[in-house]
Amino acid sequence: MVTSALSPAPSRRDRKKQETRDRIVTAGLALFTKNGIESSTIDDIALAADVGKGTIYNYFRTKEDIVVAFLMDIEREVQREVAQLALGRGSLASILTRVIRFQFTLKEPHYAFVRVFLAQLCARATPQSEWVAEIQTVIDPPLIELFTALQKRGVLRTDVEMAALLGAFKVMHLGLTVIWAIEGPPWAHIDDAIRGQVQLFCAGIEVKR
């Protein structure tokens, strides 16, 4: 956990809560990987994490929520790298293509959990859902930094509102994620889909030379 002069170090109580939450997620993911989500019970997770069953419910309402939490952690790792990709050479389309490919590469080992996440998103999520709001706080700042850097480089139009850029990009990315999840390994066609969608997206926002 990174701290700075502007963000005080977490208290001992907060650290213990985070450690417990991480232990539950780690134990849950290990069981899901070994036995499958359906065959793993909350009792199994509690035993593996060395916590009481009630403690599990203090952090997560369902087994699927553990998967969502894990993928949120992965998403934070992805987004830490997103803005750096703007520094690379190439056209606007090539940079945004790299952004999306990088995300899929990082998530590829967790493909089964991405499918669970998408199922939860479709079955339970609303715009008011707490974890949906949390996703936006993770995704939006790095994307804003990315698009701002691309505008400063002169490859992205500055007359398009940032909110519109964010919304359109996230809709495109979600659609590609669904295609990626449905296709599954070895993902023979997703690269073509990424290139095609990004080119169409960029056609309306890139600076014409």
Structural domains present in the chain: 13-60 (1.10.10.60), 63-203 (1.10.357)
Q: Tens digit of pLDDT for each residue in 118-135? A: 988 888 888 888 888 888
pLDDT greater than 50 at residue 4: no
Token match 């290990």: residue?
30
Token pair of 168 as six digits: 């359109």
Fill in the DSSP letter of residue 84. G
Give Cα separations from 31 to 21, 22, 41, 51, 72 (angstroms). Answer: 16, 14, 9, 15, 19
pLDDT at 177 over 50: yes
pTM to 2 decimals?
Answer: 0.83
Centroid of chain to Cα 149: 21
Query: Is the C-alpha dihedral spanning 122, 123, 129, 132 positive or negative?
Result: negative
Query: In this predicted structure, what is the pLDDT of residue 79?
Result: 83
User: What is the biggest distance separating any 2 CA atoms in the chain, rounded to whole angstroms?
Assistant: 63
Which of the residue ranges 6-15, 166-175, 197-206 would you say has the lowest mean pLDDT? Answer: 6-15
Q: Which band of pLDDT confidence, cut at 50, 70 and 90, is reported for residue 56? A: very high
pLDDT of residue 1: 41
For range 112-123, the mean pLDDT: 89
Rounded to whole angstroms, how far apart are CA atoms 70 and 120? 13
pLDDT at 5: 42
Residue 182: how many other CB atoms lie within 10 Å: 10
State residue 161's pLDDT score: 94
Residues 16-27, mean pLDDT to the nearest whole number? 94
pLDDT of residue 31: 94
Mean pLDDT over the full length of the chain:
89
Q: What token pair was written down for 132?
A: 């949906």
pLDDT score of 8 more than 70: no
Query: Residue 3's pLDDT is what?
Result: 41
